Copies of this chain bind each other. A is one copy, B any other.
Amino acid sequence: MSAPRLQVAAERPEAEAGAEAPQPGSFRIVSRIVDWITNDRTQLLNITERVNEIVRRSGVTNGIVHLQSLHTTTAIFLNEWQDALLEDVKAFFESAVEREQYYKHNDPNFSDCERSNADSHLRGMMMGQTLSLQVRNASVLLGTWQSIILAEFDGPRSRSVAVQVSGV
């Protein structure tokens, strides 16, 4: 599998809440929205470095980084970032929630959705759109083989992930 074709990773600065000039040990929250443009209907993007960069710049040494994709037909989760395994991951989604079966959401008699994306909704729901990870020593705590993966289930689209770093 080729590396995910990440075209855009724009970061929109947002409000910083908390103490204006935080002393060591004082609680603070830093929020960002990060955007990606996807190229395929089903696509996996490794967003680990982008998240870690936000954490490192946040000034938070110990705390939590919370990730929330703002789209129901996406998901965020952890797994090893290995080409062969990523193919298995995509095949798993295809078989766990089949695209080509009857869904009411895809039936114009019951739904005004024109994207025929019931499978995308079910995959996003099964995997979840949020992920909390610990921040230690001013970086994201991850095991050796853990990468943060954003899954696109109904691309190509522009996708936004809200990143919040909180702690001391």
A residues with a Cβ closer than 8 A to B are 14-15, 17-20, 25, 27, 29, 31, 61-64, 66, 68-72, 77-80, 82-85, 87-89, 92, 96-97, 103-105, 107, 110-111, 113, 118, 121-122, 124-134, 136, 141-146, 160, 162, 164, 166-168
Copies of this chain present in the complex amount to: 3
Contact B62 A168 (CB under 8 A): no
A132 neighbours in B (Cβ, 8 Å): 66, 130, 132
Q: With the chains together, A124 CA to B29 CA distance in Å? A: 30
Q: Given B88, B125, B146, B160, which contacts A89 in the complex, CB threshold below 8 Å? A: B125
Flag if B82 contacts A111 (CB, 8 Å).
Answer: yes
* Docked CA distance A63–B30 (Å): 10
Pick the contact of A126: B17, B62, B126, B168 (CB < 8 A). Answer: B126
Q: Which of A19, A66, A82, A128 has the most CB of B within 10 A?
A: A82
CA distance A29 to B31 in the complex (A): 19
Q: Could you tell me the distance between the alpha carbons of A78 and B127 in the complex, rounded to whole angstroms?
A: 10
